Amino acid sequence: MEKLNESEMKARARLLVLARQRKVSLARLSELIGRNTTYLQQFVGRGSPRRLEERDRHTLARFFGVDEGELGAPAGISPIDSRGTRADWCDVPRLALGASAGPGALAAEELPVGAFRFSARWLREQGLDPAQLSAIRVEGDSMEATLRDGDEILVDRSPRPLRDGIHVVRSGDALMVKRLDLAVPGKIALVSDNPAYRTIELDPDEVQVIGRVVWKSGRL
């Protein structure tokens, strides 16, 4: 096989660095782009394939929130759609964890298990940055009827001033989706839409706000 050039070697090294920073294996990243689990290991270790296909490179760049050029794309390349043509689509990673809408579930590893594809134009109209988005599953019934068990939610992790609304939060090891109420000074209230569940009041240092819920999808 022809020796890899400097640009191709840099793309492989950068992929390894990004994977280590995000604490995700090459096998799981291979699954994210719809390949067998050894695909990216062979790409990095054996130089095969020589270059990532455009759709694969685009999905990985969106997952890591980096420019496609860091993964070997020619300068000035634009996103591609499902037909392989230049267009305005974004793949948002679907993470292998659930946010409890019940008492609180222990957080799993934040590993991708697939992706949702959104129109980039629609995301722009909503004021959303694709690099700051991820999709996770709702678990439990405390947010019914707004969110139901099994719904998929889109979480915006963009740094913004905290405000009322539905958010994904972490308290201790528990990951929850709750409505935030900031009416009481010095407290953050985690409110359930289901009246069967009580409101939880916590000090700000007891709550890590992961992101705001900006979209949901669920079965009828």
Which tens digits make up the pLDDT trace of 135-191? 888 988 999 999 999 899 999 988 888 888 999 998 887 888 999 999 999 999 999
Q: Are residues 94 and 172 in the same domain?
A: yes
Q: Are residues 210 and 154 in the same domain?
A: yes
**Which stretch of DSSP H or E encloses residue 211?**
strand 208-217
Q: Are residues 121 and 205 in the same domain?
A: yes
Whole domain around residue 164: which residue ranges? Answer: 89-217
Q: Are residues 140 and 202 in the same domain?
A: yes
Number of domains observed in the structure of the chain: 2
- Specify if 1 maps to a domain: no
Domain boundary among 38, 71, 104: 71
Distance in angstroms (rounded) separating the CA atoms of residues 184 and 192: 17
pLDDT tens readout for residues 69-119: 889 887 655 544 444 444 477 888 887 656 555 444 434 445 566 778 888
- What CATH number does the domain containing 24 carry? 1.10.260.40
- Specify if 79 maps to a domain: no
Q: Are residues 95 and 201 in the same domain?
A: yes
Closest by Cα among 136, 197, 127, 128 to 170 = 136
What is the model's pTM? Answer: 0.60
